[in-house]
Chain A
Amino acid sequence: MAYLKIDNLRKNFGGVVAVDDVSFTVEKGTLVGIIGPNGSGKTTTVNLLTGFLKPSSGSIFFDGKEITGMKASHITNLGVGRTFQMVKPFYRLPAFRNLVVPLFSPRVKKMGGHYGEKDSVALDILEDIGFERDSAVPFKVASILPHGYLKRLEMGRVIALQSELIVFDELYSGLTLAEVASLSPMIEKLVDEGKTIIMVEHRLKELFKIANKVIVLDQGKKIAEGEPKNIMKDPEVKKAYLGVELKQ
């Protein structure tokens, strides 16, 4: 059985169908991209998968266990970590203290693996994701950190949680090319460690470099699935992105 299996997932808000009968599977240790034009239901899919929204129908299996309709915190503790498109740091807390909060989760208690004071564990994680320990950056209040650091802080949370399946919701949005270039190796490193990753992304070029498989959504429906190098040749995908079918 696939590591993550999504079956006929559907979500409607009143009369609007945001996710319409989407099914796909993700194998362990792979990096899967989800792309699609604005409003195609990518973030809604992520929210359904991570428990932030309850699906109208359909089912989600993670690691052989049904997680459909579970609470977000519960799903997180099973090993599905996520980041938010709109960064959600704890603005009043210094950067390193932002990571102390996930260290209290039942998952971290169960998994162990972090040793020492929570503060120093948090600083270790931050160092791994580019917050220099010897600089003042980890000690700065999150509200004054630049956007790029806040995105990394989001990443820090899933690393602290030791999530097995990580869902990055538009991690690259709003970042400069240089920042993307520094984040990509970190993601590849996570894959090397055996983590499974789903990336919802608009930055196709950067995504296609690292993805094993790409799923294309349009208006809530899955219109294509395949290897990154072939996916953009699909006529449906071209139509979704460009509005018209191109003549060859």
Chain B
Amino acid sequence: MSSERRKERIDRCIKAVTDDIFCVCSLREIAYLVVPRMLPIVGVLLLAFFVPPYWKKVLVITFMMTMMALSWDFMTSCGLISLGQALFFAMGGYSAGSLNHYLGLPFYLSIPLGTLMGATISTLLIFPALRLRGIYFSMVTLIIPLMLLRVVEVTKIMGGTEGLTALAPLPPIAYTLAISMAAMWLTFFGLRRFINSDYGLIFMALKDNDRAVEAAGLNIVWFKVQAVFIGSGICAFCGAFMTHYYMSVGMSAFALDLSLFPIASSVVGGMGTIAGPLLGSLLLGPLSEALRSFGTFRIVIYAALLAGFTTALPEGIFHYLARKYHQIERWVEVPSGVSED
């Protein structure tokens, strides 16, 4: 009788039964748990200190893009697959821009107020689509920013094609970098904590089965509104922040790139994990900047990379690394004809 080999995966024995309690008995086990969590935090911090000034600017943009990716992943985890993060970004950007331009508010007021305003407007705009599911919801989110873009162009509101310029600048780069990094980690840990809380379960449940959530006596539209508000609020902050960073806001805030980058980084990093998109966009952000010297050819390299990732590693980097880290893999002989279970 011939035999074949299959890969056996065994969890490393460190976790206790529940997800909340860890039995940590030795320094080695503490290190096992802490190191992978500290690595990105320390790595990003060191990077921020030691890169040349030009790359510091790139890092600020990367952090903001990371937040957009986190927001996309959060909304996707709630079953709201958005193709229009640019809408939320633009609403935040234009809100902060006009607060500064027309009312003369300083940036430390216009950014938080712009975030709230942007999130509110975005939620109101998306609200009619919340009864839709899946691809229908996605299509509406894709269309609204493209529509508003033309509205701004034709009616010349908010500065029209020129946009609002000469807005208040942010403080020197060191502070800007610190603020953006803090905002990113706050979003990251905040979302993770929220999703794993009891209340966050309802949002996870929305994706799995919104009819069952309804049968549980919960108003699904209200929970979707909350999810969109949180998701769009994060993007609106990015928009408001970037508006003051560039000291202008214009039609480019509606750019399709802003909707696609979060999706690309989530696909590369691993969807539905919150940590995956973080990893993905921290890789893709600087990468797309580094490829800038290739001119338009960088699109080809970028696209090839994406295609490569989606075919070779569809689960994403984070899932792959987590699996390698948490499980022992070995090849075992199994007699042929015997099924795995």
Contacts and interface: CB of A to CB of B under 8 A. Distances in A.
- Decide if A and B are genuine partners: yes
Interface in B1-30: 17-18
B224 to A, nearest CB: 12
Contacts of A84: 211-212, 215
Nearest to A163: B217
A91 B204 CA distance: 10
B198 A76 contact: no
Contacts of B198: 100, 104, 118-119
A190 B199 CA distance: 29
A12 B214 CA distance: 23
B238 to A, nearest CB: 28
A239 interface: no
A93 B208 contact: yes
A168 to B, nearest CB: 12
Interface centre among A72, A81, A83 (most CB of B within 10 A): A72
Contact of A73 (B199, B204, B217): B217
Interface string A98-109: 101110111110
| Interface residues on chain B, size class | 20 to 34
B18 A101 contact: no
Interface residues of A, number: 35
From B17, B198, B217, name the one whose CB has the most chain A CB atoms within 10 angstroms: B217
A100 B216 CA distance: 10
Contacts of A157: 212, 215-216
Given A105-B218, A106-B217, A89 B201 contact: no
B306 interface: no
22 contacts: A71-B214, A71-B219, A72-B214, A72-B215, A88-B212, A88-B215, A89-B209, A90-B212, A91-B209, A93-B201, A93-B204, A98-B205, A101-B212, A101-B216, A101-B218, A102-B217, A104-B198, A104-B199, A104-B216, A107-B217, A108-B217, A119-B198
